[in-house]
Amino acid sequence: MKILVTGGAGFIGSHTVDALLARGDEVVCVDNFNDYYSPERKHKNLAGARTSPRFRLHEIDIRDLDAMAQVFAKEKPDKVIHLAAMAGVRNSVQFPLLYEEVNVRGTLHLLELATKHGVDNFVLASTSSVYGASKEIPFREEEDAVRPLAPYPATKRACELLAHVYHNLYGLRCAALRLFTVYGPRGRPDMTPYMFTEALSQGREITLFDEGRPQRDFTYIDDIVEGILAAADANLEYEIINLGNSRPVVMREFVGVIEDLLQRQASIVSPPLPATDPPVTYADISKASRLLGYNPTTTVGEGMREFVAWYKQEAG
């Protein structure tokens, strides 16, 4: 099977690429190595993949329709796993136009080309943030999800809707996966597991909103990758599916896990929760379990141990 992975140099993308190569697939990776965070780190993420004869890299931007068309024409992928995006909720408040361009226009390019080239299945990375501050907890896929709190989730919801259009009009098979706070080795430096680990390691104070009361459904990268591969294999018609851990953690307790691992005590400042952030994220994963056999097993204690070990070796 030949699979096109967009955003394949990023955190989730590079783990997905590695897992696909490990099971014998051919992988075509598209990434523009933007500087939202260190491009060197993204190159490092692909160090293992580059040694495989079944791996090819195209350093291009998904906003460049002609370049993307050439990739499809040359590579003729069987399936697409579309992970390239501008991620980061708060950054999207500063750069809404960039988020619209990359996430909405870029995804439209992929949907157009996937349809034109008759790909079997299109897996789209969406986000738990589309649920906004929903009071229906745990979050279920049937919810309207029409009250996003920031540009980023609004663009991701638009991607889900556009994918449905391509399914309806052209029969494109699509699974839109709503990912819940993914963490683990190669994790993004703008996310709390990384930011808190770095601040504690360097003896700096951490910003813990609302006295650490908010809860997040942290989901370990290996569990997420299993879900992504299962969705790529399943060839569902059109489904929106939560991929979370379904065990939300109170943020103050999450900091406690890092304090224990680093044997350091956090110095905390605690402003109110920003308007971009919901108080709770909590995935109902019964649909993922039913359709994909998804069964996340990694606890936050286990996953953060892996993350901190990676951080000390690679990033710290």
Ligand X SMILES: NC(=O)c1ccc[n+]([C@@H]2O[C@H](COP(=O)([O-])OP(=O)(O)OC[C@H]3O[C@@H](n4cnc5c(N)ncnc54)[C@H](O)[C@@H]3O)[C@@H](O)[C@H]2O)c1
> By the criterion CB under 6 A, which residues form the site for ligand X?
7, 9-13, 30-34, 36, 42, 61-63, 83-87, 102, 106, 125, 127, 179, 181-182, 188
Cα gap 99→61, rounded to integer Å: 14
Closer residue to ligand X in complex, CB, 36/209: 36
Q: Among all residues, whose Cβ is closest to ligand X?
A: 10
* Residue 292 C-beta: closest distance to ligand X, Å: 17
Residues 6+ apart with CB under 8 A from 64: none
Angle, vertex CA 233, rays to CA 245 and CA 49, nearest 5: 80
Contact 37, 86 (CB under 8 A): no
Establish whether 152 is a catalytic residue: yes
Closer residue to ligand X in complex, CB, 82/167: 82
Closer residue to ligand X in complex, CB, 166/183: 183
Q: Which residues pair with 242 in a beta bridge?
A: 178
Of 99, 131, 152, 166, the active-site residue reads 152
Cis-peptide, bond into residue 185, ω within 30° of zero = no
Closer residue to ligand X in complex, CB, 188/287: 188
* Residue 218 C-beta: closest distance to ligand X, Å: 9
* Residue 12 C-beta: closest distance to ligand X, Å: 4
* Residue 265 C-beta: closest distance to ligand X, Å: 27
User: Mind telling me the catalytic residues?
Assistant: 152
